[in-house]
Structure 1
Amino acid sequence: MARPHKPLLSRERIVETAGSLVDAEGVEAVSTRRLAAELGVSGPSLYHHFRTKDEILEAVADSVQAEVDLSMFDERATAHPGDWSWDTALHAWGVAYRATLTAHPHIVPVLAKGPGRRPAGLRVADAVFGAMVRAGWPPAQATSIGALMRYFITGSALGSFALGFVDDQAAYDPADYPHLGQAHLLAERQEQVDERAFETGLRAIIDGLRVQFEATASPRM
């Protein structure tokens, strides 16, 4: 029998299949046995590409982070101060990053641990830090900005404020909760509520950073 033109298994196929499982059912759905069944291969064959389930999940996390738009931090974009500003870029990246994470919510806890050795995660950190330093932020503060943004964006994607309230008006007795008379409506407006909250927080962060920048940063020539 002729050999197949393409190998039955590759890192890319494993990551893609594992990513689909995570998106549909969560990280708990990923096991070597389940992946092998989904891929139509024997379980041990996975170990030619990944040693552990955690390595697979790290690769899935990296594939998700690779989807994040970083074009606003490209050195060619930041080379012309009149056409680029760090605050506008930071806002655009924050929106893009959250959109990617909310499209893959089940992998967010893995991403929340930090980039580790993941190439795409390190590229994100490098792009943000480099752009902030080129804009005139001292390196220590540029590091803090990257950390602050990761905390805020990751946290916003870990759960929904609106979905934390039940769709039952009786749960909010005005005698006990006089200001929650409309709380039962939050769940049905989840996307609007959560996106507005994220935008409010993002703008507050960037407005505060502008004040710090004027006081401490060294604008580039």
Structure 2
Amino acid sequence: MARPRKPLLSRERIVETAGALVDAEGLDAVSTRRLAAELGVSGPSLYNHFRNKDEILDAVADALSARIDLSMFEEGDGRDWREALHDWAVSYRAVLADHPHVVPVLARGPGRRPAGLRVADAVFGAMVRAGWPPAQATYIGALMRYFITGSALGSFARGFVDDRDVYDSGDYPHLGQAHLLADRQEQVDEGAFETGLRALVDGLALQFELVRSAPKGR
């Protein structure tokens, strides 16, 4: 029998299959045995590409990091650091919103993941070029990751049930409309994210003016 022109297995195919499995069933659904069955190969063949499950999940997370728009941080893009930070955060959250089960892996930080490190490098470099001291630029990168990944870990609106009787006015006088939140999840969660993001960027802008007006060497 002639050998197939394309290899049966590749890193890309493993990552794609693992990502689909995580999206459908969550991180716990991924195992080398399950992946091998999904791919129609023997379990040991996966180890020609990845040493273990954690490496596979890291690769899935890095594939998502590669989808985050970084164009706003390129020199010559034209957006100032405030607008760039805002637009990047919106892009980042959009990627996470489409793949929420991967958020816990991304929330651990980039580690050795190339695309994740490119994200961190782009944010830090843009903030330093804008005039932030390196230490403050590091804090901004950390702050934004906390905020963005935190916003994607769960839904505020989904935390309320749609049963009006749960919110008795005698016990909860201000939650008379809480039963409507679940049906307005996207509006509430996106509105909350944008409100928080604007508050963060506006607050950083105030700090930036203090940094710029501080005596040199302080």
Report if TM-score (shorter chain) is over 0.5.
Answer: yes
Alignment of 1:90-129 (within 5 A): 90-129=85-124
Shift of 1:181: 0.5
Q: Does 1:143 align with 2:138?
A: yes
Between 209-218 and 166-175, the greater mean CA deviation after superposition: 209-218
Shift of 1:75: 2.4
Structure 1: distance between partners of 2:90 and 2:20: 23
Match of 1:80 in 2: none
Runs of 4+ in 1 over 3 A off after TM superposition: none
Shift of 1:84: 2.6
Q: Is the 8 A contact 1:138 1:217 kept in 2?
A: no
TM score, norm. by length of structure 2: 0.96
Deviations 1:83-117 (A, max 9, x none): 33000000000101000000000000011111100
Shift of 1:217: 3.5
Structure 2: distance between partners of 1:186 and 1:90: 29
Q: Does 1:169 align with 2:169?
A: no
Q: Does 1:154 align with 2:149?
A: yes
Residue identity in the other structure for 2:52: T
Q: Secondary structure at the match of 1:121?
A: helix
Q: Does 1:68 align with 2:63?
A: no
Match of 2:10 in 1: 10
Which ranges in structure 1 are unaligned for 5 or more consecutive residues?
A: 78-82
Structure 2: distance between partners of 1:76 and 1:118: 27
Deviations 1:129-164 (A, max 9, x none): 000000111100000000000000000000000000
Structure 2: distance between partners of 1:63 and 1:23: 13
Structure 1: distance between partners of 2:79 and 2:166: 49
Residue identity in the other structure for 2:182: A
Match of 1:38 in 2: 38
Shift of 1:29: 1.0
Percent of residue pairs identical: 79
Structure 1: distance between partners of 2:65 and 2:96: 8
Shift of 1:33: 1.1
Structure 2: distance between partners of 1:169 and 1:17: 42
Which ranges in structure 2 are unaligned for 5 or more consecutive residues?
A: 214-218
C-alpha RMSD of matched pairs (Å): 0.9
TM score, norm. by length of structure 1: 0.95
Q: Is the 8 A contact 1:162 1:187 kept in 2?
A: yes
Residue identity in the other structure for 2:172: Y
Deviations 1:154-211 (A, max 9, x none): 0000000000001101111111100000001000000000000000000000000000
Residue identity in the other structure for 1:130: G
